[in-house]
Amino acid sequence: MKVRGVAEATVARLPTYVDCLARLAEQGVKVVSSAALSRAAGVGAAQLRKDLSYLGDFGVRGRGYEVEELRRQIAACLGLHRQWAVLIVGYGKLGSALANYRGFARKNFRVVAAVDIDLDKVGPHAGGLQVHAVEELGLVVRDEGVNMAIIATPAPVAQWVADRLVEAGVRAILNFAPVALSVPADVSVREVDLATEMQILSFYETQRATSPAQSPSATQRGRRRHSEEQALA
């Protein structure tokens, strides 16, 4: 499934659609309208239709979308058909928690190894995960066919780690260290900064306290909340 010019905001919603469709399929629903699906996903119906229109013409007018078919199509766009081999860099509190996170496995993301600078952590760990010395990063990437990495190191070494990953050929990085990584244009990075999220919450809560007017309040990672969203299977 190759597509062109899909809006960034659209891409960010596709995983939600896949989830909703999977849930519907489990419930035995065969066909769904944009109205119903959009309600489950918490977006507007027009938005859903426009999002899907970027990927192709999947619906049948007057009827709706084939649930299982649509799910497969979007999943294919997202590359969920293939297996992803994930390397965790930094096996501290956060790194080890992520290594064992059930949510990944359910989605064809397999954590195949971890690396850490601390030699005490090197060796086999609970869940059968092998932790390697950071020097072996390149080897591990090659041997395990790693094509995605999670950086869970302290901030000061994150850029160095990113450079090693890029050298080793990894082109998709999820970064938990609180620094903006700089990487070549053909590498994708997503930053997840927990302290930043807290500060955003703190901002709105502070503003609310100061001026009791109705603030934007519904702060859903940038998109505003819809009233229809109340309904959810």
Partner DNA sequence: TTATGTGAATCCATTCACAGCT
Partner DNA sequence: AGCTGTGAATGGATTCACATAA
The entry of DNA, a second copy, none that residue 59 binds, CB within 5 to 8 Å by partner kind: DNA
- Residues, the chain: 233
Q: Tell me, residue by residue from 39 to 78, as one string, x for binding to a second copy by CB under 8 A and - for no binding.
A: --xx----------------------------------xx
Round to whole Å and give the CA distance between 155 and 175: 10
The entry of a second copy, DNA, none that residue 202 binds, CB within 5 to 8 Å by partner kind: a second copy
Contact between residue 77 and residue 104 where contact means Cβ atoms under 8 Å apart: no
Residues forming a β-bridge with 89: 115, 151
Which residue in the block uniquely carries the two structure tokens 């109705």? 214
CB of 55 to DNA, least distance (A): 9
Give the binding site for DNA (CB under 7 A).
7-10, 33-35, 43-47, 49-50, 52-53, 57-65, 223-224, 226
The entry of a second copy, DNA, none that residue 106 binds, CB within 5 to 8 Å by partner kind: a second copy
Residues 169-198 that bind a second copy (CB under 8 A): 171-174, 178-180, 182-183, 185-198
| Angle at CA of residue 58, ends 53 and 59, nearest 5° | 100
User: Is there binding between residue 216 and a second copy (CB under 8 A)?
Assistant: yes
CB of 125 to DNA, least distance (A): 40
The entry of a second copy, DNA, none that residue 52 binds, CB within 5 to 8 Å by partner kind: DNA
Pick between residue 60 and residue 105 the one whose CB is nearest to a second copy.
105
Round to whole Å and give the CA distance between 117 and 156: 13
Round to whole Å and give the CA distance between 86 and 147: 6
- Identify the burial level of 49 via C-beta atoms within 10 angstroms of its C-beta, where 0-12 means exposed, 13-18 middle and 19 or more buried: middle
Residues 133-162 that bind a second copy (CB under 8 A): 147-148, 159
Round to whole Å and give the CA distance between 209 and 68: 47
The entry of a second copy, DNA, none that residue 44 binds, CB within 5 to 8 Å by partner kind: DNA
User: Is there binding between residue 210 and a second copy (CB under 8 A)?
Assistant: yes
The entry of DNA, a second copy, none that residue 93 binds, CB within 5 to 8 Å by partner kind: a second copy
Round to whole Å and give the CA distance between 177 and 209: 31
Round to whole Å and give the CA distance between 70 and 107: 17
From start to end of 164-214, where are the E strands?
172-175, 188-191
Judged by CB under 8 A, the number of residues near a second copy is 84
